[in-house]
Amino acid sequence: MSNIVYTTIRHEFTPNHLLGRVVGTSSMLMKITFPIELFISGMWAEYFPIKGLFILSTMIFISLFLLIRKHPFSKVI
């Protein structure tokens, strides 16, 4: 779900002549950092209860949703 929102915002605010460069660069950065993300999430799952991590994730997504609803971008949709 967050990937769709991120992609939509990126396409909305990037000029057309730079879209290919921006999409390629951000995609490559996300692919490079993926192993690091997996390692960190594995470490968190090792030391913190899984239920707490899901609650934290839910709270983060709800707060992001509320922030986006107040942003002028929400009027575009």
| pLDDT on residue 55 | 94
The torsion defined by the Cα of 36, 19, 57 and 38, in degrees rounded to 10, comes to -20
| pLDDT on residue 15 | 86
pTM value is 0.55
Series of mean pLDDT values for 10-residue runs along the chain (77 residues): 70 83 84 89 89 91 85 66
> Which residues neighbour 12 within 8 Å (Cβ) at sequence distance 6 or greater?
73, 76
Q: Domains in the chain: how many in total?
A: 1
| pLDDT on residue 62 | 92
Tokens of 65: 């949703």
| pLDDT on residue 77 | 55
Rounded CA gap, 23 and 75, in Å? Answer: 23
Amino acid (one-letter) located at 8: T
| Domain containing residue 36 | 2-75
